[in-house]
């Protein structure tokens, strides 16, 4: 299961986004939904910019170099996952159906499993990760 989580989390997120798109439930004309999705994209872009080119990876494998603590990483440890979850859940709130909720729950579960795998690797790779984790929340600033 760990190998699946490490390798296929991005694929699960893409499939969920495509499923919502095909169902006509990804985008909305509602201003709050659009604002939430724009915020999610901004979070993802700022997290990507915070990474140095050589550090960014699609797999759950910490690269060489220092632990990233700038940009959104000052507040949350996993802003890219936070942005993806925000985008998906805002879309679901705009088109609330049992199937969409199931899609959201599955993606959330896979992302949370991926975060636990990544954090284990990060704690092994970076001795100062434990101290960083004390003040930077996992995915929601100031909450969790």
Closest CA to 80 of 115, 55, 106: 115
Count Cα neighbours of 11 within 13 Å in the Cβ-side half-sphere: 6
Rounded to a whole number of angstroms, the distance between the first and last alpha carbons of the chain is 25
pLDDT tens sequence across 39-72: 999 999 999 888 765 455 555 555 556 788 889 9
For tokens 């550090």, what's the residue? 55
Please say whether the dihedral angle defined by the alpha carbons of residues 11, 49, 136 and 54, taken in this order, is positive or negative. positive
| Ranges of each domain in the chain | 2-51+67-135
Residue of 84, 77, 73 lying closest to 49 (CA atoms): 73
84-137, pLDDT tens digit by residue?
Answer: 999 999 999 999 999 999 999 999 999 999 999 889 988 988 889 999 999 999
Q: How high is the mean pLDDT of the chain?
A: 88
Model confidence, pTM? 0.86
């Amino acid at each position: 299961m760990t190998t699946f989580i490490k390798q296929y989390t991005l694929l699960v997120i893409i499939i969920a986004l495509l499923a919502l798109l095909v169902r006509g439930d990804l985008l909305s004309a509602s201003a709050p939904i659009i604002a939430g999705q724009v915020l999610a994209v901004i979070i993802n872009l700022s997290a990507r910019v915070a990474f140095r080119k050589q550090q960014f990876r699609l797999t759950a494998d910490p690269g060489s170099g220092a632990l990233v603590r700038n940009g959104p990483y000052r507040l949350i440890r996993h802003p890219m996952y936070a942005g993806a979850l925000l985008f998906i859940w805002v879309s679901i709130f705009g088109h609330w159906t049992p199937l969409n909720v199931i899609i959201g729950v599955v993606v959330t579960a896979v992302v949370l499993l991926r975060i636990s795998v990544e954090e284990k690797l990060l704690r092994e790779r970076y001795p100062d990760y434990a101290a960083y984790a004390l003040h930077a929340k996992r995915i929601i600033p100031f909450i969790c």
